[in-house]
Structure 1
Amino acid sequence: MNRSSSRGPDIFPFLGIKDSGFGTQGIEDALISMTRVLNIVEND
């Protein structure tokens, strides 16, 4: 965790065995899909 991919460049998709690799996505797409945008407004 918190290390670069040992499988190769960051453009390689995550893959799995049998059906677990269905719908693979690259690292950038995975991070975007697991990120939730949060807006914070502070009034002084």
Structure 2
Amino acid sequence: MMPLWWLMNLSYTNLILMTYILIIHSINYFNIEISLMSMKKKNIKFKW
């Protein structure tokens, strides 16, 4: 049986990981939108 603190720590880590992934996806989506707009105007690509 797993200790309670380990289980809590795991869920906390998962929460941070999920938040991090969500933020990265949001930034990437936003970056793609900006890239498409810029390509239409100046033909410039943003690279990460």
Larger radius of gyration: 2
TM-score (norm 2): 0.26
TM-score (norm 1): 0.26
Structure possessing the higher relative contact order (Cα contacts under 8 Å, 6 or more residues apart): 1
Larger fraction in helix: 2
